[in-house]
A and B are shown apart, each in its own frame.
Chain A
Amino acid sequence: MLEVKDLHVTVEDKAILKGLNLTVNAGEVHAIMGPNGAGKSTLSAVIAGKDGYEVTQGTILFEGQDVLEMEIEERARAGLLLGFQYPIEIPGVKNIYLLKAALNAARAARGEGEIPAPEFMKLVREKSAQMKMDTSFLQRAVNEGFSGGEKKRNEILQMLVLQPKLAMLDEIDSGLDIDAMKVVAEGVNSLRSADRAILMVTHYQRLLNHIEPDRVHVLVDGRIAKSGDKDLALELEARGYDWVLEESVA
C-alpha cells in the first residue's frame, strides 16, 4: 500500500532523513519508534505534504501513485490521513462543519454526491459516542479550549468519520492519561481491517500494549536501523536505544 524508497529529506538545509526505506501492506499496523530528533515526525509530515520539508532524493508511492506529485488535499482524499501530535485550534469554525467539509471533499473526489444531512448526523453521533465525546463537542470550534486528551480523541473521531486507507498517527499517545489512552486505542483498533493500514509514530511501548503492532521499526539518525515484531518494542523498553545505535554503526 505504502512504499517509501531511499527517502532523503532536509529541513532548512539540515539532513533529517537519510535514505529511509519502509513498506506497509494493507491490513498491517506498523509502529515507528526511536530517540528524539531521529526524524520520526518528519516521516509522517512528509507523507502528508507539510511545507518546509525538502525531499532531495527517493520516492513515496501510495497504491502505486506518486505521493510527492500530489497536493496536500489530494493525498488526504486518496485516503492518506494524518492524526496530529498537536492539533491546531481554529476559532469560530465548528468541529462538525470541518468534519462535513472534509467528508464531502473525499466523497466528491470519489465522484459521490454530498452526504445527506440525516445520514451524516447519524454517523457523527455514533462515532462521537464511540470516542466517548459528548455531542456538544461537535458544536464547539475546532479544538478550541479542548484539553490535550480531548484534542487527541477528536483526531481519532475524524479518522472514524473519514475512514482513511492509511491512518498515520503522530504521537497520538502523548499527553493522555490511562483512561483516555484506552478510548483512543479502542478507536484506533476499530479502524483495523484487511484493506486498511495504520502507521504509528510513538516514543513509548505503553501505547503498543493497547494497539498491538505487526511490525516495529527503530528510526535512528534518519534511517530505519532495525525492524522486528512487537517483541522489539519490549526490548527497546527494557534496553533503550543505544544498543540499536551501536549495532547499526557496527
Chain B
Amino acid sequence: MASEEMEQLVRREYKQGFVTDIESDTVPPGLDESVIAFISQKKEEPQWMLEWRLEAYRRWLDMTPPSWAHLDYPPIDYQAISYYSAPKKPEDRPQSLDEVDPKLLETYEKLGIPLHERAALAGVAVDAVFDSVSVTTTFKEKLHEAGVIFCSISEAIREYPELVRQYLGTVVPQSDNFFAALNSAVFTDGSFVYVPEGVTCPMELSTYFRINAANTGQFERTLIICDKQAQVSYLEGCTAPQRDENQLHAAVVELVALEDAYIKYSTVQNWYPGDEDGKGGIYNFVTKRGDCRGDRSRISWTQVETGSAITWKYPSCVLRGKESIGEFYSVAVTNGRQQADTGTKMIHIGENTRSTIISKGIAAGRSDQAYRGLVKIGSRAKGARNYTQCDSLLIGDQCGAHTFPYQEIGNSTATVEHEATTSKIADDQLFYCRARGIDEEDAVSMIVNGFCKDVFQELPMEFAVEAEALLNVTLEGSVG
C-alpha cells in the first residue's frame, strides 16, 4: 500500500536524522530552546510570545508524563520528534488518487465524501482541490460584517496581539499538565475565534473551511472567546479518516465565555487508529477546557471519538459565573486495538451552577476504554447541580469498559446524581431484529446508533448524519 510505504520511508528518514540547516523549512528531531526560537521566528511572532513559549518549555522540563490513565503504550521519545516542518511540497505528495491506499478510498466512499474532497483528504497534490476559494471568500465577508474574527492562531498573534495576550493560557495555564506544557512551548497551528459583544455568529465555524487547514498541526492551539451575550457554534475535525505521519498529537483548546455567552463546541475525531495490531496509529493527548467566566454563560462540549490508537482527552468546564452551565455529551467508539481514556471535569465554583454529563462508550474487538469524570463542587457553589449518566456498550467478549467517576462535594446544598450502566450488546435485541429479517451487521448498527441517540441529537444536523455513517464504518466487521 502506497501510503504505508510512504510512512515507513518518512520514519526511516527520521531515524537517520536528516540534517537541515536553519534556513530550511524543517528542523531536525529534538527539542531545545533554539528549536522554540526557530518556530517563533518562522511564525514571525513578537518577543512576548517567544518568552511565553520558553517559560512553558522550562516548566515542561521538570514535568513527567501522567501515568494515571488506563492506557498502555511505550514511552515516547520526545527528542525523536521533529517539532517544525513546513507543509509538504507538492512533489512529495501522492500525485493522484491512484497512488493512495485503496482501503482509505473505500472508506471515503462509504462515508459519502464527494470525489473532489477525497483527493484533498488523502493529501493528493492537486491545485485547487476544493473549489473552496469562492466559498471561503463569501464566508469571510459574512463573518467580517458581523465583526467575528476567525483565523489561524499564528495570524491572530500577529494581527490581534492584545486579545491573544489577554486570554491565552488563562484557561489552560502553561504548566497545567505535561502535554499542555509541551503544546504551549511548540504549538504551530490552530484556530482563533473572537465573537464580539451581543453578536450571534452567523454560521457554524469549522476548521474544515479555514484556509491552510489542510495540514493540521501536530500541536494545535485553539482559543475561542465569546464576549457578553455572544454565541458561537464551532465544529472541529471531520468524519473522514485523517492520516498523519506524526504519531503524537497534543492539542490544547481554550474557551472563554463571558456574561450570557454561549459556546457550543462539537468534535468528530477520526484519526488513523493503526493497523489490525494497532501499529502506526495516532496518539492523541488533548487538553480541552472551557471557562464560564461570566454569569449565566454556557459551554457545551459534544464529541464523537472514533479514531486514534490512543485517546487521552477530558473536555472540561470551569463554572465560575453565577448560574453558568456546563455540558458534556460524548460518544467514544473503540475497535481493534484502540485504547481510550476519556471523560470530563465539571468544576462548580459559582452559585447555582449546573452541569450535565452524558457519556456513551462503545467497545468492540480487543479494544479497551475508560470513562473518567470529575464533578467538583466548591465551597461557595450554593445550589449547584450535576447530572451524570454514563453508559457503556460492549460488543464481543474481548473488549473492556471501565468507569472512574470522582466526586468532590464541598457544599451541602449541592445536588449530584450519577447513573452508570454497562451492558453487552444484548443478544435478545440482536435476535429480535434478526427475527424481523434484518441482517446482523445492520442490526448492530441500528442498536448502537439508538444507544448514542442522546448524544447525536446534540450535534449539528449535518454532523449527526455523518457521525452515524462513521459509527457504522468504525464497527464494520465487529460481529460474527
List A residues at the B interface (Cβ < 8 Å): 48-51, 71-73, 75-77, 81-82, 84, 87-88, 90-93, 97-98, 101-102, 105-106, 109, 141, 158, 162
Contact = CB atoms under 8 A, between A and B. Distances in A.
Given A73-B439, A106-B437, A162-B437, A93 B432 contact: no
B435 interface: yes
Contacts of A106: 437
Interface stretch (B77-85, B174-182, B423-431): B423-431
B432 A48 contact: no
B226 to A, nearest CB: 32
A105 B451 contact: no
B446 interface: yes
B110 to A, nearest CB: 18
A98 B436 contact: yes
A76 B437 contact: yes
Instruction: Give the interface centre of A81, A84, A91, A97 by most chain B CB atoms within 10 Å.
Output: A91
Contacts of B442: 101, 105
A141 to B, nearest CB: 7
B434 interface: yes
A80 to B, nearest CB: 9
Given A88-B428, A92-B454, A76 B447 contact: no
Nearest to A83: B435
A51 B432 CA distance: 12
17 contacts: A51-B431, A73-B434, A73-B435, A73-B437, A73-B439, A76-B434, A81-B435, A87-B432, A88-B429, A91-B450, A92-B452, A93-B450, A98-B433, A102-B433, A102-B438, A105-B436, A105-B439
Interface in B431-469: 431-440, 442, 446-447, 449-454
A48 B432 CA distance: 10
Nearest to A92: B450
List the 6 shortest-distance A-B pairs measured between CB atoms, nearest first: A92-B450, A92-B453, A93-B450, A76-B437, A102-B436, A72-B434
Contacts, number: 78
Contact of B451 (A51, A71, A73, A92): A92
B424 to A, nearest CB: 13
A236 to B, nearest CB: 29
Contacts of B432: 84, 87-88, 90
Contacts of B431: 50-51, 72
Nearest to A101: B438
B437 A91 contact: no
A91 B454 CA distance: 10
How many chain B residues sit at the interface, stated as a range, is 20 to 34
Contact of A77 (B429, B437, B440): B437
Contacts of B435: 48-50, 72-73, 75-76, 81-82, 84
Contacts of A84: 432, 435
Nearest to A97: B446
B259 to A, nearest CB: 36
A90 B438 contact: no
Contacts of B446: 90, 93, 97-98, 101
Given A88-B432, A93-B450, A51 B438 contact: no
Nearest to A105: B437
A223 B433 CA distance: 30
Interface in B28-56: none
Interface in B406-437: 426-429, 431-437
A55 B143 CA distance: 68
Contact of B453 (A71, A91, A101, A158): A91
B429 A73 contact: no
B99 to A, nearest CB: 37
Given A88-B428, A101-B442, A93 B436 contact: no
A158 B426 CA distance: 21
Nearest to A93: B450
A88 B434 contact: no
A118 B451 CA distance: 28
Given A73-B440, A91-B450, A141-B450, A51 B434 contact: no
Nearest to A143: B432
Given A51-B427, A84-B432, A90 B437 contact: no
Contacts of A72: 431, 434-435
B66 to A, nearest CB: 34
A75 B432 CA distance: 13
A72 B439 CA distance: 8
B433 to A, nearest CB: 7
A236 B124 CA distance: 77
Contacts of A92: 449-454
Contacts of B427: 51
A105 B446 CA distance: 14
A95 B250 CA distance: 43
B436 A158 contact: yes
Nearest to B431: A50
Given A48-B435, A81-B435, A162-B436, 15 more contacts: A50-B431, A72-B434, A73-B438, A73-B439, A75-B435, A88-B428, A90-B432, A91-B453, A92-B449, A92-B450, A92-B454, A93-B450, A98-B433, A102-B438, A105-B438
Contacts of A101: 433, 436, 438, 442, 446
A1 B58 CA distance: 81
Contacts of A49: 434-435
Contacts of A87: 432
Contacts of A141: 450
Nearest to B454: A92
A98 B429 CA distance: 12
A102 B437 CA distance: 5
Nearest to B456: A92
A90 B429 contact: yes
B260 to A, nearest CB: 33
A90 B436 contact: no
Contacts of B428: 88
A52 to B, nearest CB: 9
A49 B446 CA distance: 20
A124 to B, nearest CB: 14
Nearest to B450: A92
Contacts of A102: 433, 436-438
A101 B442 CA distance: 9
A97 B432 CA distance: 14
